[in-house]
Structure 1
Amino acid sequence: MTARRHRGCRAPQPENGDIPLASARLDRSERDCLALARRFFQLLANPDADDRQNAIERVAGSFGADHGLAVAWAMSDLLREIRQSRRSTFYFSNPDCPGCARLITEHERRLVAALAALRRGRRSAAHVEVMLLCEGNPDETVLDGLARLADLLPPPDRHKRKTRAWTGH
């Protein structure tokens, strides 16, 4: 797992499938899961970092004092399964850089898109995202891990969209 590094980053330009986080249309639980995953990625990429475990605990706390630990364990298990399935480097945005943190990498996007799809009952869509995330390698354990994580989260936020009512005319 490798953090995207941008020299002197203030607001990096998206690269290789990165998109602005604001355009990813994630609900609060999905954003919190992404933040938690990024902290785990950072811990895996730099195991000697001192404050990483505290950062994980703070992010997990956004899910509630008791519930946060279960979410953190489910995320940790899920990321272990992804690491075992993928063959190439997983790129993530550095959560400690304000500019980088505003971007979501293609790999992060696929992970969160699969989670969002499962939370909305779209298992086939989740499976496609996981297949791409795992580079065509065996992915059932990853999909199962995502389902366990999704089961711990509240129902997805309903996006409030302006729609015109059909009047039959």
Structure 2
Amino acid sequence: MRDPKGAARTARPMPRGGSLLLRGILAEIIAMATPNPGSARGATCGTPGPTETLLDAAGFDGFERHTLDVMRLIFADQSGTRPRHGAGPADVADRLFGADHGPVLLVAITALVQTMAIARSEPFRYSNPYCAGCARVLTRHEALLLRVLHLVRRGRTGAATIEALMLCDSRPVAALLEAADDLAALAICNERGLAGARPAG
């Protein structure tokens, strides 16, 4: 089930070294990341609410879904809702992206989350990554942020800007788009094991 707890207000360090840079850019995340309460869709794990969708039906590729996995773990870790023995973002980034690329991608994903946190004025709702049913559901906020990355990776900056403006309530989004472009430049095509791959179309 989704954890109804609000976000913690004090920072905790990342679970392993990964690093001074990460610790320096997480303060804004803590104040705005909130687990999506079950009441948003009748407390039914795996069933989308009115503004949600199933992740499998959202049209995101493997890199974007891995990015979401890591983002959710960053939110959970920094908001204090990570279970005692739950996997942390650094370990999962290494597993999903490989030991060579995981650390740098973790920094880039955290930077994307941080710029979004600065730009937004309201809490960001995310699905609980430690519940298999909840993790199948994509919140509206998650969908908007992933669409920004999805569109930037395909060179559709205008469309990405529109999604970013909706996500950030029409506040300035230049930094968010830049962070998305930085992450896109580091994207790994896991199927081929190539760094820096951008999707076609």
- Report which of the two structures shows the higher radius of gyration computed on alpha carbons: 1
Q: Secondary structure at the match of 2:179?
A: helix
Q: Which ranges of 4 or more aligned residues in structure 1 deviate by more than 4 Å?
A: 7-10, 47-52, 156-159
Letter matched to residue 28 of structure 1: G
Cross-structure match for 2:65: 31
Distance in 1 (alpha carbons) for counterparts of 2:174 and 2:60 = 24
Q: Does the alignment pair 1:22 with 2:56?
A: yes
Secondary structure of 1:2's match? strand
Corresponding residue of 1:162 = none
Match of 1:119 in 2: 153
CA offset at residue 158 of structure 1?
6.0
Counterparts of 1:6-155 in structure 2, within 5 Å, are: 6=38, 11-46=45-80, 50-51=84-85, 54-61=87-94, 62-154=96-188, 155=197
| C-alpha separation in 2, matches of 1:158 and 1:96 | 32
Do the aligned partners of residues 15 and 9 (structure 1) sit closer, same or farther apart at CA in structure 2, a change above 3 Å counting?
closer
Q: Which moved more, 1:54-63 or 1:100-109?
A: 54-63
Task: Measure how far apart 1:48 and its partner are.
Answer: 7.7
Please tell me whether the aligned partners of residues 71 and 149 of structure 1 are also in contact (alpha carbons under 8 angstroms).
Answer: yes
Instruction: For structure 1, list consecutive stretches of 5 or more residues without a partner in the other structure.
Output: 160-169
Aligned mates of 1:27, 1:43 — CA distance in 2: 24
Counterpart for residue 167 of structure 1: none
Say yes or no: does 1:2 pair with 2:34.
yes
Equivalent AA in structure 2 for residue 58 of structure 1: D
Give me the whole-angstrom Cα distance separating, in 2, the residues matched to 1:42 and 1:128: 27
Aligned residues: 158
Conservation of the 8 A alpha-carbon contact between 2:184 and 2:198:
no
State the distance in 2 between where 1:24 and 1:33 align: 14
The CA distance in 2 between the partners of 1:9 and 1:48, in whole Å, is 20
Contact 2:46 2:133 in 1 (8 A): yes
- Could you say which structure has the higher helix fraction? 1
Higher relative contact order (CA 8 A, sep 6+): 1
Calculate percent identity across the aligned residue pairs.
32
1:56 maps to amino acid: P
Amino acid at match of 1:109: A
Equivalent AA in structure 2 for residue 71 of structure 1: L
Q: Secondary structure at the match of 2:38?
A: coil
CA distance in 2, matches of 1:91, 1:132: 14
RMSD: 2.2
- Higher mean C-alpha deviation, range 122-131 or range 147-156: 147-156
